[in-house]
Amino acid sequence: MRRVRAALAVLLLLLSSSAALALPSATGVSNPTIVVAVIASLSGPGAMAGQDSVDGFTTAMRHLGGRFANQEVRVVVQDDRGSPDTALAVARKLLEREKVDFVVTAVPLPSMSAMVRTLTESRTFVLNLDAAPASLAGAGCSPWFFQVATPVQAVHEAIGIHLAAEKMRRVVIIGTDAPATDQAVATIRRAWPGEVAEVLRPRHGATRFPDEIAAMRHAAPDAVINLLTGGMGGAFAREYAAAGLKTDIPMIGVWQGWERPLLPAMTDSGMEVLNVAPWSPDLDTPLGKRLISDFEQEFGRPVTGWVAQGYDTAQMLDAALRATGGRTNDREAVRNALRRAEFPSVRGSFRFDSNHFPSVSVYLRRTTRDAKGRPTEELRSTLIKDWHSRDAGLCPMRWVEETTPGVAAKPGTPPAAQPAGQPPKPKLPAPAPTVPAKPKPPPAAVPAR
């Protein structure tokens, strides 16, 4: 019996030694868990965007085997319920109770504004999948904040570029009675020299639009820019078609009001309408088809732009942590890895500018039906390739941007390839660390994560 026990002990020792040797040298085996907190709107008006962002992230995690850089990942999901107060309370609770490495946010702008300072002051990396306060793109930029979602300014600028390309002279814009509409109008005007004949602002929650339809008919513009989304957007699309304006005056929408799950409720009123978007289901990317197939099989609903952005975020985190060997304790190394992460974005090319806002492409889509008669989107053109925030030069962060094969624009692309109205890319000065560099302790003193 003693011999048997001794043999078993030796065998166990050999097996454990072999397992340890099989691990990569930089896996952080003393604490293999990377913690990602996700704060999303899973109930209330923003639930569709929040749930799609979470499920897109989850789909990528499955494709990655539940690990980043061969490290176990624990994901903690919290609902802000569409409330800024709840968002702030949830953020504080997470930071107090969890040792969070990254926070992924997929909440409306009011919630983001309420909690972003708390998150960044905790020195936790924030990866945002929805709208962000405008100041974060410029003078208020943060070394802890990364905007992964395509900014709303890029979509509105692309609308202006499309109007200019089509030589449209007068438009009517319809949107909610909110500052976001004013900002959209200003951005469109910067990219297009034409006339905004009128800006219509129906009451919040409206389902009938007789006054707005009459005003559009009287103005007789070259196009109507529809900034309405959700229930208001669908109701307006139906009434616009019923009034006979759809055949007379082209309507151009924003992608949040024209994603595939929303189209069946619009019936034929929503077909053959242009919209500007960060993604399209027929976009040819390395992982695009796999995402669509696996997501729709798992969740039983179409992929949207929110799904695509959530998927990209997990892929980007995996790429960044591969560059750090899976370690998260050296925050400056993690930041540099996020800035230069090379990953197969399902939205096309992707890289960060010096303000941590993305350089991305923006597309023109048309609603149509597929071979089975189901509502879908058809890619018509790329309106902007490698969009850049106009406020990047106001951001005090400075770091060297390195060209990344497969992510940056192809070498030799002439300046003329940039769409009209695009600002020149800011020249970045010589590198200087965003956070003062600290002397590295000896390897034995660094806790593995």
pLDDT in tens, 230-261: 999 999 999 999 999 999 999 999 999 999 99
What is the span of the domain harbouring residue 86?
A: 34-150+284-360
> Do 111 and 122 fall into the same domain?
yes
Distance CA 200, CA 213 (A): 10
> Do 161 and 266 fall into the same domain?
yes
Last residue of a domain, one of 277, 312, 327: 277
> Do 232 and 197 fall into the same domain?
yes
**CATH value at residue 272:** 3.40.50.2300
List of the chain residues with pLDDT < 70: 1-32, 400-449
> Do 250 and 175 fall into the same domain?
yes
pLDDT at 425: 42
Last residue of a domain, one of 277, 307, 325: 277
Looking at this protein, which amino acid is placed at residue 385? K
Last residue of a domain, one of 229, 255, 277: 277
Distance CA 374, CA 111 (A): 35
pLDDT at 338: 98
Q: pTM to 2 decimals?
A: 0.82
pLDDT at 32: 56
pLDDT at 401: 53
- For residue 437, tell me if it sits in a domain: no
pLDDT at 287: 97
Q: Residues 301, 262: contact at Cβ < 8 Å?
A: no
Distance CA 88, CA 118 (A): 8
Three-state SS at 328: coil
pLDDT at 412: 33
- For residue 132, tell me if it sits in a domain: yes
Q: Residues 199, 175: contact at Cβ < 8 Å?
A: yes
Half-sphere exposure of 417 toward its Cβ, with a 13 Å CA cutoff? Answer: 11
Q: Residues 227, 256: contact at Cβ < 8 Å?
A: no
pLDDT at 147: 98
Instruction: Count structural domains, the chain.
Output: 2
> Do 234 and 345 fall into the same domain?
no
> Do 288 and 145 fall into the same domain?
yes
pLDDT at 426: 41
Q: Residues 304, 259: contact at Cβ < 8 Å?
A: yes
Give 384-434 as a DSSP string.
ESS---TTGGG-----PPPP-TTTSPPTT--GGGSPTTPPPPPPP-S---S
Q: The tokens of 279 are what?
A: 């993604």
Neighbours of 398 (CB within 10 A): 13
